[in-house]
Structure 1
Amino acid sequence: MLSKNNTVIGFIGTGVMGKSMAGHLLREGYSVAVYTRTKDRALELVSQGAIWKDSVAELSKVADVIITMVGYPKDVEEIYLEESGIVSNAKKGSYVIDMTTSTPSLAQRIYEEAKQRNIHSLDAPVSGGDVGAKEARLTIMVGGDKEAFEACKPIFEVMGQNIILQGEAGAGQHTKMCNQIAIASNMMGVCEAIAYAKKAGLNPEAVLTSISAGAAGSWSLSNLGPRMIAGNFEPGFYIKHFIKDMGIALQEAEAMGMNTPGLSLAKQLYEQLAENGEENSGTQALFKFYK
Structure 2
Amino acid sequence: MKTIGFIGVGVMGRPMVKNLLQAGYAVAVYSRTKSKLTDFLAETGVQWCDTAAECAAGRDAVITMVGYPQDVEQVYFGENGILSAAREGAYLIDMTTTDPKLAVRIAAEGKARGLHVLDAPVSGGDTGAKNATLSIMVGGEEADFAACLPLFQAMGRQIVYEGPVGAGQHTKMANQIAIAGTIAGVCEALFYAERGGLDPERLLASISKGAAGSWQMENLMPKMVKEDYAPGFFLKHFIKDMKIAQAQGGALPVLERVCAMYGDLEAEGMGDLGTQALIRYYRGE
2:148 to 107, 128, 152: 152
Separation (CA, whole Å) in 2 of partners of 1:163 and 1:41: 30
> How far apart, CA to CA, are the structure 2 residues paired with 1:83 and 1:168?
28
Q: Partner residue of 2:222?
A: 226
Q: Which residue of 2 aligns with 1:110?
A: 106
Which of 191, 198, 202 aligns to 1:195? It is 191
Match of 2:272 in 1: 280
Per the alignment, residue 213 of structure 1 pairs with 209
Q: Which residue of 2 aligns with 1:43?
A: 38
Where 1:224 maps in the other structure, the secondary structure is helix
Of residues 2, 10, 21, the one that matches 1:15 is 10
For 1:59 and 1:15, the matched residues in 2 are separated by 16
Q: State the alpha-carbon separation in 2 of the partners of residues 240 and 160 from structure 1.
A: 24
Residue type of the partner of 2:21? Answer: L
**Paired residue for 2:131?**
135
> Which residue of the other structure, out of 55, 60, 84, is the alignment partner of 2:56?
60
Once residues 240 and 56 of structure 2 are traced to their aligned partners in structure 1, the CA distance between those partners, rounded to angstroms, is 27
Structure 1 residue 259 and structure 2 residue 258: aligned? no
SS at match of 2:256: helix
**Residues 1:98 and 2:94 are matched in the alignment:** yes
Aligned residues: 282
CA RMSD after TM alignment: 0.9
- Counterpart CA distance in 2 for 1:42 and 1:198 is 40
The residue type equivalent to 2:252 in the other structure is T
Contact 1:21/1:134 (8 A) holds in 2: yes
Secondary structure of 2:67's partner?
A: coil
**Where do 5+ consecutive residues of structure 2 fail to align?**
none
Contact 1:192/1:290, CA 8 A, preserved across alignment: yes
Compute the TM-score of the two structures, normalised by the length of structure 1.
0.95
Question: For 1:37, what is the secondary structure of its paired residue?
Answer: coil
1:125 aligns to 2:121 (yes or no) = yes
Runs of 4+ in 1 over 4 A off after TM superposition: none
The secondary structure found in structure 2 opposite 1:233 is coil
Distance (Å, rounded) in 1 between the aligned partners of 2:76 and 2:96: 12
Q: How far apart, CA to CA, are the structure 1 residues paired with 2:150 and 2:165?
A: 20
Shift, 1:83, TM fit: 4.1
The code of the aligned residue for 1:67 comes to I
Q: Which moved more, 1:263-272 or 1:37-46?
A: 37-46
Residue 166 in structure 1 maps to residue 162 in structure 2: yes
Instruction: Name 1:250's counterpart in structure 2.
Output: 246
Structure 1 residue 76: deviation in Å?
0.3
Q: Secondary structure at the match of 1:278?
A: coil
Question: What is the SS of the residue equivalent to 2:269?
Answer: helix
In 1, Cα distance between the equivalents of 2:119 and 2:111?
Answer: 13
Quote how far apart the aligned CAs of 1:264 are. 0.4
Aligned-partner residue type, residue 271 of structure 2: E
Q: Percent identity?
A: 53
Q: Distance in 2 between the 1:204 and 1:138 partners? A: 28
For residues 235-275 of structure 1, give each alpha carbon's deviation from its aligned partner in whole angstroms, at most 9, with x where no partner exists: 111111111000000011x2xxx211100000100000001
1:104 and 1:37 mapped to 2: Cα distance?
24
